[in-house]
Amino acid sequence: MLVVGEDEANRGVVAVKDLRRESQFEVSRAELLKTLRVEIEQSQAMPSA
């Protein structure tokens, strides 16, 4: 899930919530696409629950 609230927008970042791993991190908008590609590749390598 991606979250861009007022705070994130002001700082030029996007909060990325991984609901499967129950984790959250922030990434700059400029790095978002690259980061999501890596996250998707990693999730595909993870065994299904």
Dihedral sign computed on CA atoms, order 24, 28, 32, 35: negative
Are 16 and 23 in contact, with CB atoms under 8 Å apart? no
The three-state secondary structure class of 46 is coil
Question: What pLDDT is attached to residue 14?
Answer: 98
pLDDT tens digits, 1-49:
999 999 999 999 999 998 888 999 999 999 999 999 998 898 888 776 5
